[in-house]
Structure 1
Amino acid sequence: MASNPPSPQKSRKSAVRPVPISPAQAIADAWKRESVESQERWRKLDTEMRRRYEDARRKQAQSKM
């Protein structure tokens, strides 16, 4: 007599599934893995992009007046 293969439900339960995490938590975890130098570069880039965005918004607001 042939043995019965395990049912799909039993094999699914035995598999270890990672605990789902939020996108924000995934980003926070990735940030922690970045080197100090890399974090500094990201901060400088963020500051520069913010400055450019704010400057462009100011120019746009002035041109509408």
Structure 2
Amino acid sequence: MGHDADSDPGAGGSSGIAALTRAGVSVVPVPDRGHTIMLDNPRGFVRATAAALAWPEGI
């Protein structure tokens, strides 16, 4: 069963996401996951991690 970070109080809710974004943190949703993202949706986790580690354009 997946969770929506905006409605999941344990995920910080939308105010937690807003605070992270203001601090410069990229918040990437991973669908079809529970508490253990890496085990619940390994492909989604890998995609999100690979995107986060990709070199920015122009470097």
**Structure 2 length normalisation: TM-score?**
0.26
Bigger share in helix: 1
Q: Which has the higher contact order (CA 8 A, sep 6+)?
A: 2
**Structure 1 length normalisation: TM-score?**
0.24
Which structure is larger by alpha-carbon Rg, 1 or 2? Answer: 1
